Amino acid sequence: MSPLVVVVGSLHYDIMVDAPGRPRKGETVAGRAWAPKFGGKGGNQAVAARRQGIPTVMVGAVGDDDFGAALLAGLDRAGVERSTVATLGGVGSGMSVAIFDDEGDYGAVIVSGSNLAIEAHQASDELLRAAKVVVLQNEIPETINEDVARRARAFGVRTILNAAPARAFETTLPRYVDVLVVNAIEAETLGSPPVRSLADAETAAEHLSSQFVSMIVTAGGDGVAYHNESGERAALASVPVDVQSTHGAGDMFVGTLAARLALGDDMRAALLSANLAAAKLVATPESERNELRHYAKGMAASRT
């Protein structure tokens, strides 16, 4: 059977704003341009996994609107199987607005919409049994993640949880997670010491591995650290690049990691591939990775 990654998670129609800086409270900043972009942590991670050349299935929900149509088209272009993505009436598709500054960093606001209406049965037992790796994030209800992870564990399928955005756990989800991936802020939210360097990330990964089977803590431009409950560890420095945009780098990392593990790579090899893929994305200008911009133009033209 071919390796298979199943991503259960969010789809967002992103609106990207290019500005010299991000506004402070009460401040208005004049932006230079904006463009739409395919997004959502789930969608981005599914596309990243598929780019590793293995079958990838997306489980999620969009609204019966133009945003939803664009998101489904984005999955189709990437070759991600999306028969388990529901199209729902009476609820808008998920969306976000991200503001990028001159340093390539960004801040974003998401509106979850249809992502909150995902149902656990969309990820059927048959689908989960066929999977090699299941990927989850925090942009859908935790009860859905818990249900899917519990069944995946029963079927012997490895589950990766990207605990982003940060939130406290309110269910038994952690007991069913095989690999937890967090950034510095998320690690601190879960109780680790502050993460300001790769050494700090190593300390955080070791600290949190007492709660999770395997921990991965990403430290942005400093690198990534891994630690598991058996004491195995790894620390990888970041790949030096000219930063164009950090948007989506974490999702590229997680999706690539999932695909490489599904293909049978050991953890260190998978981390190396994921680190490199994220670095390449960071070095790519937004204008060169935004296919949805062209879809949106075609959609507008069809109305005139």
Per the listing, tokens 């300390």 go with 203
**Which among 147, 200, 222, 251 is annotated as catalytic?**
251
Three-state SS string over the chain comes to CCCCEEEECCCEEEEEEECCCCCCCCCCCCCCEEEEEEECHHHHHHHHHHCCCCCEEEEEEEECCHHHHHHHHHHHHHCCEEEEEEEECCCCCEEEEEEECCCCCEEEEEECHHHHHCCHHHCCHHHHHHCCEEEEECCCCHHHHHHHHHHHHHCCCEEEEECCCCCCCCCCHHHHCCEEEECHHHHHHCCCCCCCCHHHHHHHHHHHCCCCCEEEEECHHHEEEEEECCCCEEEEECCCCCCCCCCCHHHHHHHHHHHHHHCCCCHHHHHHHHHHHHHHHHCCCHHHCCCHHHHHHHHHHHHC
Does the annotation count 101 as an active-site position?
A: no
User: Which tokens is 161 given?
Assistant: 């949880």
Residues annotated as catalytic (active site), given as ranges: 251
